[in-house]
Chain A
Amino acid sequence: MNMPQLAIEPWGNYSLALAASVECLHVRPWTHTCTTPEILKLGVEASPEFSCLSFKVTTGHFIKAAMEGVEYGVMVNSQGTCRLRYYRMLQQKLLKERGFNLFIFGLGYDGIKPPLIRHFDPTMNDFLRCCFRARLKVLTIDELETAAWTRRAVEQRPGDTTRVMNTALRDLDQARTVPEIAAFRKTIPARFNQIPVHADRRPLKVALLGEATILRNSFLNQNIEEVLGGLGVEVRNFFLLGEEMRNIFNIGLWSKNGRSALRRLAKPYLGTPVGGHALTSVAHTVRCAQEGWDGVIHVSPAGCMPEISVRPVLRKISQDMDIPVYECSFDEHTSQVGMITRLEAFVDVLTGRRRKKGL
């Protein structure tokens, strides 16, 4: 059977869930959990020089997909203020100029039945079942990620958590039906509990905030979660797709991470959403300070319009509320060696603070 293929932009481990969500369209998903050097190179070559890394990398993925004969792609339609709004239009243009026939569907903000669904026209039954399945997978991955962040900081043998995580993701990919996924979800605590840990350690707690593409793509962020974990730091990456979805559909209106709650938190420092995840970054920094986290790492692509524009605000919060904020910009030239050096130094700063406070 010759099913058409659909390229999905990389969303880290969530790519697995997104791939599952398009099954009902009778297409073969084409996606990666992570970018490769080759894909990045393709994207950088094709993109305008001063565009952001997120653009370059998604463009790279679509080009790679087109080279492998993929016919369709899907990209979010943004109504925001930042450059994301123009991604799809520009990428379509770049692909056409290179003679590729990959059509990119927009997703979101265009009516109850987006063009993607209209084109492939799945039955309602199929569609709903897929949605449930994908949602459950997303929530399961949220849970896996959270478990890995806490475990990695205290593991006895470096790499154990990553190994468990990789097996778990492979198993999750095999689970196809809702009962299967639910059954898998129950095994998560047992999987991570088997990792031998230093129970007496009180790891530093560091929040990763900022732009979603970089936060989710371990190739772009130089594997920041694992590097910090290896340094004995408990991280929390504030981009969890499950939470994000709740916000998009406004279900989490009253939850702790709901939009209105975040706006209230950010209010003393930022009176406008700005765009992208800028408001979220500010709000979470305030919350982390209130909750006594050891530090915050603000991650963004170099030159990111919304994230860079709130940096002075983050600095002010850092001063006022006494929480170290480290700003990390990433572009295609970022070297892993330099990144690790900086992260190690930041961890040293945080350790020094704890010692000084006598904790």
Chain B
Amino acid sequence: MFGKGKSAAKQEVRKFRTVGIPRALVYYLYPALWETFLRELGLTVVVSSPTSRKTVEHAGLISETEHCLPVKLSDAHLAELSGKVDAVFVPRILSTLRGHIACPKLGALPDCARAQFSDDFNVISVEINEARIPLEASMAELGKRLCAKVTDIQRAAERALSAMRTAQTESKPLIRPAGALYFLVIGHPYNLHDAFLSGPVFQKLETLGVCAEPVSFSCREAVPEPVKWDTCSIIYDRLRRLDPQEWHGVIHLSSFNCGCDSIVSTLYHDVLREKKIPLMTLVLDEHAGQAGVDTRLEAFVDSIKEQHEHAATRH
């Protein structure tokens, strides 16, 4: 046991040439950041391929049954990197926002990756805890572990941060034709931005003539009361400031077995009920069929349209 611990520590210092990043969780929490950072440090970065039906099916076979869908998918993405890279980057995420905490599952990710894939690759990790440590410091620590020079680390960090800012603001501004419905789509970034999971929803909304905007996570401020979980708090903050005149509906993309959502969705519900903005929760799971999503969205949009027409005729 002792020997094992020592060699693991040694490997962490060794220089790796190719490093993998699973296209899950951290990839969406910090878009473009870690990818750019590692690349700027001179490493070859391999990002696992986008989620597909195959990923989902593989996740079902290898991952713990009771995990939530995003963690299951993360396992499948890790498995895909096996054999392609020297090491995989799985950070320990404790908080991504000042005054907040992250979902507890994200804290155990590197340990789980080591437990499940110890035969396949090394796991490089660094603690991300923005409640205590600035993101730059986490990057510096990671650079040090990869034996990079201080100047290189600083340059890489700057480029990475600007790449993240670009990625977060890249989404095209919503064109607002008169008379159309405006929906806000909320959910954890790893649900919203995984095209396999959210794509059918956005496409369907488009065909229904609805302008849908995913909630933005680029803001770095939120009040930690009453929701302490980082991404949920940003969403809650946004919902509290939502103008009922401007927004006609909210769609919550939750994932099966998500512990955070099981609690906060009732809070989302309360806020929106006060503002009289309709909310629909879609629970994504590995078996989701397109037919179910379509029917629900159609019915939701129809009911909102009817309400509006009804209100218009009364006036």
Q: Do the two chains bind?
A: yes
A residues neighboring B (CB under 8 Å): 48-52, 81-83, 85-86, 89-90, 93, 268-272, 274-276, 278, 302-306, 308-313, 315-316, 320, 329
- Bound complex: CA A15 to CA B198 (Å): 47
A-B pair number, CB within 8 angstroms: 100
Q: Least Cβ distance of B306 to chain A in Å? A: 28
Given the known interface contacts A81-B103, A272-B92, the answer about A310 and B108 at a Cβ–Cβ threshold of 8 Å is yes
Beyond contacts A90-B266, A270-B108, A309-B105: 8 other A-B pairs, Cβ-Cβ < 8 A, are A50-B257, A50-B258, A82-B259, A93-B270, A272-B94, A272-B111, A276-B104, A315-B115
Contact assessment for B111 and A329 in the assembled complex, using a CB-CB cutoff below 8 Å? no
- Contact A278–B108 (Cβ < 8 Å): yes
* Complex A-B: 18 CB contacts under 8 Å: A48-B265, A50-B259, A81-B101, A89-B226, A268-B5, A271-B92, A272-B111, A274-B104, A278-B104, A302-B66, A306-B104, A306-B108, A308-B66, A308-B105, A309-B104, A309-B108, A310-B112, A316-B116
Indicate if the CB atoms of A309 and B71 lie closer than 8 Å. Answer: yes
B64 at the interface (CB under 8 A from A): yes
Of chain A, the residue at the smallest CB distance from B8 is A268
B interface secondary structure, majority:
helix
* With contact pairs A268-B5, A309-B71, A312-B112 given, residues A81 and B262 touching in the complex (Cβ less than 8 Å): no
Find the residue from B104, B110, B118, B270 having the highest chain A CB count within 10 A.
B104
Which of A52, A271, A312 sits near B259, CB closer than 8 Å?
A52
Report whether B103 and A305 are in contact in the complex, using a CB–CB cutoff of 8 Å: yes
Judge whether B111 and A303 touch: CB under 8 Å.
no
Q: Which residues of B contact A (CB under 8 A)?
A: 1, 4-5, 64, 66-67, 71, 92, 94, 101-105, 107-108, 110-112, 114-116, 118, 226, 228, 257-263, 265-266, 270
Give bound CA distance, A305 to B257, whole Å: 9
- A354 vs B5: C-alpha distance in the bound complex, in angstroms? 30
A272-B127 Cα distance, complex, nearest whole Å: 10
Cα-based distance from A310 to B66 in the complex (angstroms): 11
A90 to B1 CA separation, bound complex (whole angstroms): 45
CA distance A333 to B159 in the complex (A): 52
Cβ contacts under 8 Å, B64 to chain A? 308, 311-312
For A302, list chain B residues within 8 Å (CB): 66
Bound together, the chains give a CA A305 to CA B266 distance in angstroms of 18
| CB nearest neighbor in B for A272 | B107
The docked-state distance in angstroms from the alpha carbon of A351 to that of B226 is 50
Looking at the assembled complex, report how far the CB atom of B285 sits from the nearest CB atom of chain A, in whole angstroms. Answer: 11
Given A50-B257, A51-B262, A312 and B115 touching (CB < 8 A)? yes
CB-defined contacts of A329 to chain B, threshold 8 Å: 66
Contacting residues, chain B, for A51 (C-beta < 8 A)? 262-263
Q: Please judge, given known A-B contacts A81-B101, A274-B107, whether A269 and B115 are in contact too, CB under 8 Å.
A: yes
Chain B residues whose C-beta falls within 8 Å of the C-beta of A268 in the assembled complex: 1, 4-5
